[in-house]
């Protein structure tokens, strides 16, 4: 590991509050070039919020965000497109940056949806649309990719292929990836750094370290870390509802 790894985005105890309720707070993490950082955590633990803080979508935040790149590709978790717009897949590909036809074709081929290029976006299935979203994000060859559940609704074999593609992209483009995933197997095999969230950072580190962590087990169950040796750390707080922390 070289020391020259360029930091792309850095959160310093960042948090976001909506109507006096903290969605997430005290998150510190950084994404470097060529590295995959994965956010895991239960529903409502602030994974998407953290991604949106990193992207600058949420502006009134606590703490700090430092962004060192403007070449960003984003796959949001939820996207609702208004069908008053006649929009084909190829129009959607050039949404935020004009791309050459060749680049569009390459990106669509990578995720296996080149045949949908001239189709209307509204006619795609959920899984097809998800693949288009992913191709759009990678087509502009970003330095930072933020993928919020990028394979939701994709069939099982496709899921594996897409995760492999994501790993390959991070190597080929040497871009940094902030990934949000529910699939713990993928997290364990493809990730450089895992951040486990539950309203705040529960634990973080390499996948193996996190899997050994007690908090991780408390969140995901014993099975999730079964194959790994047991590592205990002193858990100095408990969680109340809404992910608040109560010191023991």
Partner 1 sequence: MLDDFFIRALFAGIGVALVTGPLGCFVVWRRLSYFGDTLAHSALLGVTLAYSLEFNIALSVFIISALIALILINLQKRTNLPGDALLGLLAHSSLAVGLVVIGFLSFIRFDVMGLLFGDILAVNVNDIIIIWIGGAIILLVLKFIWKSLFASTVNYELAEAEGLDPDKAKAIFTILMAAIIAISIKMVGLLLITGMLIIPAAMARNISNSPQQMVLFSVIGGLLSVIIGLFTSLEFNTASGPSIIAASLFLFILSLLKIKQSIKLKN
* Minimum CB distance to partner 1 smaller for 122 or for 221: 122
For residue 83 the two structure tokens come to: 């069908």
Q: Residue 201 has which token pair?
A: 């950072």
Nearer to partner 1 (CB atom), residue 28 or residue 94? 94
Residue 54, φ and ψ in degrees, nearest 5: -60, -35
Other Cβ atoms less than 10 A from the Cβ of 55: the count is: 18
Is position 57 an interface residue for partner 1 (rule: CB under 8 A)?
A: yes
For residues 107 and 224, which CB has a smaller minimum distance to partner 1 in the complex?
A: 107
User: Which CB sits closer to partner 1, 82 or 222?
Assistant: 82
The C-alpha atoms of residue 87 and residue 82 are separated, in whole angstroms, by 10
Site string for partner 1, 149-168 (x = CB under 8 A): --------------------
Q: Does 43 bind partner 1 (CB under 8 A)?
A: no
Per-residue tokens: 153: 């609704």
Give the footprint of partner 1 on residues 61-120 (CB under 8 A).
70-74, 76, 79-82, 84-88, 91-92, 95-97, 120
Exposure string for 211-228, b = 16+ CB within 10 A, e = fewer: bbbbbbbebbeeebbeee
Closest listed residue to residue 58, CA positions, set 11, 8, 7, 6: 11
Using CB under 8 A as the binding rule, whether residue 18 contacts partner 1 is answered as no
What is the nearest approach in angstroms of partner 1 to the Cβ of residue 11? 15
Kindly state the smallest distance separating residue 205's Cβ from partner 1, in Å.
27
Q: Which of residues 127-146 bind partner 1 (CB under 8 A)?
A: 140, 146
Binding test (CB under 8 A) with partner 1, winner from 55, 110, 177, 184:
55
| Shortest distance, position 141 Cβ to partner 1, whole Å | 13
Q: Which residues contact 52 (CB under 8 A, 6 or more apart)?
A: 16, 58
Alpha carbon of 229 to those of 85, 108, 210, 211: distances in Å? 54, 41, 11, 9
Residues at the contact surface with partner 1, assessed by CB under 8 A: 52, 55-57, 70-74, 76, 79-82, 84-88, 91-92, 95-97, 120, 140, 146
């Amino acid at each position: 590991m070289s020391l020259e790894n360029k930091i792309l985005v850095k959160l310093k105890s960042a948090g976001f509050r909506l109507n006096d309720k903290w969605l997430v707070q005290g998150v510190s993490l950084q994404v470097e070039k060529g590295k995959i950082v994965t956010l895991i955590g239960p529903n409502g633990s602030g994974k998407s919020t953290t991604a949106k803080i990193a992207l600058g979508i949420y502006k009134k935040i606590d703490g700090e965000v430092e962004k060192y790149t403007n070449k960003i590709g984003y796959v949001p978790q939820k996207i609702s497109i208004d069908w008053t717009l006649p929009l084909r897949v190829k129009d959607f590909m050039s949404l935020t940056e004009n791309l050459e036809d060749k680049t569009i074709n390459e990106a669509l081929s990578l995720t296996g949806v080149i045949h949908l290029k001239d189709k209307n976006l509204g006619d795609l299935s959920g899984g097809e649309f998800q693949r288009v979203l992913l191709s759009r994000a990678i087509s502009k060859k970003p330095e930072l990719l933020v993928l919020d559940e990028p394979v939701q609704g994709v069939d099982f074999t496709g899921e594996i292929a897409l995760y492999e593609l994501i790993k390959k992209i991070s190597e080929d483009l040497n871009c940094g990836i902030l990934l949000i995933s529910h699939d713990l197997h993928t997290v364990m095999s493809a990730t450089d750094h895992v951040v486990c969230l539950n309203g705040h950072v529960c634990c973080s580190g390499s996948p193996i370290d996190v899997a050994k962590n007690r908090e991780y087990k408390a969140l995901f169950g014993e099975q999730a870390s079964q194959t790994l040796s047991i590592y205990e750390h002193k858990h100095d707080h408990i969680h109340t509802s809404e992910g608040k922390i109560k010191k023991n």
